[in-house]
Structure 1
Amino acid sequence: MTLLNDITAYKIWIFAPYLETEDPTLKFYYDYTQSIEEYTRVFAEINCEWEWVNVTINNIAESIERVKKYSGKQSIVLNLCDGDEINNVPGVSVIHALDESGIMYTGSDSYFYNVTTSKITMKEAFDKAGVSMPGWQKLNGHIDPDLFKKVGKPIIVKPAVSAGSMGISVKNVVNGKRQLKSVLNELHEGFKGWDLNTAGLLAEQFIIGREFTTLLVGSHHQPEQIKFYQPIERVFHKDLPEKEQFLSFERLWEAYDEEAPPPDNGYLYEYAPVTDFCLAQQLKDLSIDAFKAVKGVGYARLDFRMDKKTGKLFVLEINAQCGLSEDENYTSIGAILRVSNKTFTNLIVEVLEDALLRNTAHG
């Protein structure tokens, strides 16, 4: 199925998740100026009609109706809605509404979306499928006296549901119960009005070592059709302590309040291609295993750590409906495209073709 052969028959509607807020940090999150410029270039390049729609938690039905009323061409919704809905950003409700409407759409289905929105259900699915991942445990009010023995030291505390490293600080990596209690108390207070505790918290073994990211497009029930991109390594600033070599919210977004910038005001990390063929193959195999374990559909970005001592790879998480951009300052997808010798247009066409393929299979 090649979309480009018949591109004039389609109109693409971009559904973007929108939050009405006065908070300057969150406003920055939902400023789509740059994204709209990227998509303008993509659709000009492939000569395709398109429209941008800001979708809020309150206008989902109205947005769907707008697409349904349009009768000029066949519609495909490029669905970018990735909210958890706990904090009023639209997410799975958009998928349910699209399913009911019968409109063709890209990206995650409701199962893949739900199972990966919470790190707890995602890790349970990985456990069930035997996917390699760090030790972990749910944190339910009381602290298990054997927590550090069962999970491994050090531990990183994570909200089960959070995006863009929200709720993650360098203080979240702990070696003992006193530090752990302090982090839990802070997380119970929330972040900039966002409730990070409703969906629960978890303790995960913090793997000291290298970090990698991968991207794939496709569906778990057609593994032979999955398109796997060149993996990349996220190389953290060498002068950062090993226990601080990860994406904390303040350093990721350069919104410093409690944390210090990296040494000499340098970069937090740089991207490097994975040139070792065996390692790239291991990352591919583990990516596809993890994708299948959560019944992946559409596209996903995955994060991995390699234990410095043993060389063993662990899946940290899989991001359904991950942010799409060629800008490396916004997402690692840009670096993955660069080392894969692909353009953002190539990726968007593959994402749209995956929707067509699924629609044909179900139709």
Structure 2
Amino acid sequence: MTLLDNTAAFKVWVFAPYLETDDPTLKFYYDYTQSIEEYTRVFAEINCEWEWVNVTVHNIAESIKRVKDYTEKQSIVLNLCDGDEINNVPGVSVIHALDESGITYTGSDSHFYNVTTSKITMKEAFDKAGVSMPGWQKLNGHIDPDLFKKVGKPIIVKPAVSAGSMGISVKNVVNGKRELKNVLNNLHEGFKGWDINTAGLLAEQFIIGREFTTLLVGSHHQPEQIQFYQPIERVFHKGLPEKEQFLSFERLWEAYDEETPPPDNGFLYEYAPVTCPTLAQQLKDLSIDAFKAVKGVGYARLDFRMDKKTGKLFVLEINAQCGLSEDENYTSIGAILRVSNKTFTNLIVEVLDDALLRSSVSS
């Protein structure tokens, strides 16, 4: 049974991660006015009852109980909770609670969530499966004297666990040990009150070249049924130095403190369709390989770089529970939907149908 076979039989509960904070930047990040408007249109279009639920680390059990106590229709939880829980944003605890409750839910299971929350465990899984990715190394308090030889120059320093480019600045791209030490010192101090060092830091080869993003819906158990959307390219402002053509936090969120806007106050990037069939197929194959390497379930967005000199593609990361929106100002998903000739409603229905399929298989 699919959702559209009988939408009147279902109620969808949208679980959104919520953080109580006085930080204006973080308040903006957790302002769901635009998202609620989007989902209102989606469920009106398919004539399906729904309810928005702000979930904090303190009300997970209460939120689950509300769904369990509702018995008029079959419930599906559209689980958007994507926090790392280090900084009090709910994430995998919601998945554990949903599993215990027996409620049908969308998105990642606990394994996929855990292995991809940290870039370290994610990259270890990619290494094991032989997935193409940049050179990298964990940073464990001391700097390997051969770090730049082993990883490659330049290096970008990343927190192992972060969301929305938190902890990422243009200064994180370095060519030598002195610059690296300065970055590490800054990251150890935290970021806008958030502890981004607890889960560790890593050094990754910064790939100079083009950047791409893909989206898929499905499960590694049934790779033949994975829905793969048309890939897009993120084309950065040509006036930026090549080593600044990436998503730093301040430029991504236009919350400037130490960095400056792109030249002429232009856009940091624009989206373009991938028109080369061969490249599109390569991105699809690598996306599915990476998805299977981390035992992906639900849906995911993946980011890639293509080396300017060699043309080789590398997976940067895979995002379980990636942000879902048709607004291209919020997420690349909107651009992917546009070039795929799909609507946001199409995507949400596919995500919900995937949850129903998984539930029927496991029952």
Q: Same fold (TM over 0.5)?
A: yes
Aligned to 1:312: 312
**Residues 107-130 of structure 1, C-alpha deviation per residue, up to 9 Å, x if partnerless?**
000000000000000000000000
**Residues 92-141 of structure 1, C-alpha deviation per residue, up to 9 Å, x if partnerless?**
00000000000000000000000000000000000000000000000000
Aligned to 2:142: 142
Rounded Cα–Cα distance in structure 2 between residues aligned with 1:21 and 1:99: 29
Q: How does 1:323-338 map to 2 (within 5 A)?
A: 323-338=323-338
Rounded Cα–Cα distance in structure 2 between residues aligned with 1:87 and 1:2: 37
Structure 1 residue 220, shift from structure 2 partner: 0.3
Q: How does 1:5-154 map to 2 (within 5 A)?
A: 5-154=5-154
**Residues 46-93 of structure 1, C-alpha deviation per residue, up to 9 Å, x if partnerless?**
000000000000000000000000010000000000000000000000
Count how many residue pairs are aligned between Structure 1 and Structure 2.
363
Rounded Cα–Cα distance in structure 1 between residues aligned with 2:260 and 2:36: 33
Q: How does 1:169-184 map to 2 (within 5 A)?
A: 169-184=169-184
- Secondary structure of the residue that 1:230 maps to in structure 2? coil
* Unmatched segments (≥5 aa) in structure 1: none
**Residues 282-319 of structure 1, C-alpha deviation per residue, up to 9 Å, x if partnerless?**
00000000000000000000000000000000000000
Structure 1 residue 6, shift from structure 2 partner: 1.3
- Secondary structure of the residue that 2:191 maps to in structure 1? coil
Rounded Cα–Cα distance in structure 2 between residues aligned with 1:183 and 1:265: 26
Rounded Cα–Cα distance in structure 2 between residues aligned with 1:169 and 1:234: 18
- Secondary structure of the residue that 2:194 maps to in structure 1? coil
Structure 1 residue 7, shift from structure 2 partner: 1.1
Percent identical residues = 91
Rounded Cα–Cα distance in structure 1 between residues aligned with 2:77 and 2:358: 13
Rounded Cα–Cα distance in structure 2 between residues aligned with 1:285 and 1:154: 27
**Residues 191-237 of structure 1, C-alpha deviation per residue, up to 9 Å, x if partnerless?**
11100100000000000000000000000001011000000000000
- Secondary structure of the residue that 1:270 maps to in structure 2? strand
TM-score normalised according to structure 1 size: 1.00
Rounded Cα–Cα distance in structure 2 between residues aligned with 1:90 and 1:153: 36
Aligned to 2:217: 217
- Secondary structure of the residue that 1:126 maps to in structure 2? helix
- Secondary structure of the residue that 1:204 maps to in structure 2? strand
Q: What RMSD, in angstroms, separates the aligned Cα atoms of the two structures?
A: 0.4
**Residues 322-350 of structure 1, C-alpha deviation per residue, up to 9 Å, x if partnerless?**
00000000000000000000000000000
Structure 1 residue 2, shift from structure 2 partner: 2.5
Rounded Cα–Cα distance in structure 1 between residues aligned with 2:186 and 2:308: 30
**Residues 120-166 of structure 1, C-alpha deviation per residue, up to 9 Å, x if partnerless?**
00000000000000000000000000000000000000000000000
Rounded Cα–Cα distance in structure 1 between residues aligned with 2:108 and 2:98: 11
Rounded Cα–Cα distance in structure 1 between residues aligned with 2:289 and 2:198: 29
Rounded Cα–Cα distance in structure 2 between residues aligned with 1:167 and 1:321: 20
**Residues 255-291 of structure 1, C-alpha deviation per residue, up to 9 Å, x if partnerless?**
0000010001001000000000000000000000000
**Residues 16-53 of structure 1, C-alpha deviation per residue, up to 9 Å, x if partnerless?**
00001111111111100000000000000000000000
Rounded Cα–Cα distance in structure 2 between residues aligned with 1:56 and 1:275: 42
Rounded Cα–Cα distance in structure 2 between residues aligned with 1:77 and 1:100: 14
Rounded Cα–Cα distance in structure 2 between residues aligned with 1:17 and 1:266: 32
- Secondary structure of the residue that 2:6 maps to in structure 1? helix
4+ residue runs over 6 A deviation? none
- Secondary structure of the residue that 1:260 maps to in structure 2? coil
Aligned to 2:234: 234
Rounded Cα–Cα distance in structure 1 between residues aligned with 2:251 and 2:21: 23
- Secondary structure of the residue that 2:81 maps to in structure 1? coil
Rounded Cα–Cα distance in structure 2 between residues aligned with 1:66 and 1:29: 26
Structure 1 residue 4, shift from structure 2 partner: 0.2
- Secondary structure of the residue that 1:131 maps to in structure 2? coil
- Secondary structure of the residue that 1:306 maps to in structure 2? strand
- Secondary structure of the residue that 1:19 maps to in structure 2? coil
- Secondary structure of the residue that 1:42 maps to in structure 2? helix
**Residues 171-195 of structure 1, C-alpha deviation per residue, up to 9 Å, x if partnerless?**
0000000000000000000011100
Rounded Cα–Cα distance in structure 2 between residues aligned with 1:79 and 1:258: 35
Rounded Cα–Cα distance in structure 2 between residues aligned with 1:356 and 1:71: 17
